[in-house]
Chains A and B, each alone.
Chain A
């Protein structure tokens, strides 16, 4: 079983729609959580960190449920530019990042 599991999608949504997806992680000792964004043939870029209390960054909202070991990302008012693969990332109390395989989101006009 992979350490981080994600629904691969794809999620095809119209502009302006809300889209949400989750990932689950297996290591209960995980300390830090992130969402990275990766455009086709580009490097992963940090979208946002995920905090226990949940956090927002503009149209993006991330939630963490430690008891159930899942992380969610919600995108409101989707833009064409939000089309990308979203990588769920988990870190233990060290330096290693564990990545999910990514969830593909396509926003159509």
Chain B
């Protein structure tokens, strides 16, 4: 079946521009996660949704970052007034639930954001 789909795959933004990154999770997956991966580093947790509820946004680096999942499926990560330090790959992951400790997260291919 279809995996996690992210768009766009690449985004170039001028500093100060707003961007919106989209994630289509695996159908039926309750949990959705956003991660930020800087060059040469592992992914870092940004935020977590269970259905439409954003239960954890502790990893968002600043108030310029905003995420939503209004109908409990597709999610959008928005970055306002982009800065050069926002340049990274933004990964979305989904899982069936979080009830099991070993529940597996499946990742999308990511959006590579470059801020000039």
Q: Contacts of B112 on A, CB cut-off 8 Å?
A: 41
- Beta-carbon contact of B42 and A87 below 8 Å: yes
Interface residues on B, range: 20 to 34
Chain A positions 7 through 46: 1 when the CB is less than 8 Å from some CB of chain B, otherwise 0? 0100000000000000000000001100000000111111
Contact status A100-B42, CB under 8 Å: yes
Q: Is the CB of A32 within 8 A of B102?
A: yes
Q: Does A45 lie within 8 Å of B107, measured CB to CB?
A: yes
Residue of B nearest to A98 (CB): B45
Closest residue of B by beta carbon distance from A43:
B107
Which residue in A91, A98, A101 is a CB contact (below 8 Å) of B40?
A101
Question: Contacts A32-B102, A49-B102, A95-B98 hold; do A44 and B43 have CB atoms under 8 A apart?
Answer: yes
Q: Which residues of A contact B40 (CB under 8 A)?
A: 8, 101
Distance in angstroms from B40 CB to nearest chain A CB is 7
Which size bracket describes the interface of A in this complex? 20 to 34
Q: Which of A8, A45, A94 is the one whose CB lies under 8 Å from B98?
A: A94
Cα A87 to Cα B35 with chains together (Å): 14
Q: Which residue on B lies nearest to A6, using beta carbons?
A: B42
A85 to B103, CA, bound (A): 22
Q: With A42-B109, A45-B107 in contact, do A95 and B42 touch (Cβ < 8 Å)? A: no
B-binding residues in A (CB < 8 A): 4, 8, 31-32, 41-46, 49, 87, 91, 93-102
- 15 pairs of residues in contact across A and B, judged by CB atoms under 8 Å: A8-B40, A43-B4, A43-B91, A44-B91, A45-B107, A46-B104, A87-B42, A95-B31, A95-B103, A96-B48, A97-B33, A97-B43, A98-B45, A100-B42, A102-B42
For the complex of A and B, the 3 pairs showing the least CB-CB separation, nearest first, are A99-B42, A43-B107, A95-B98
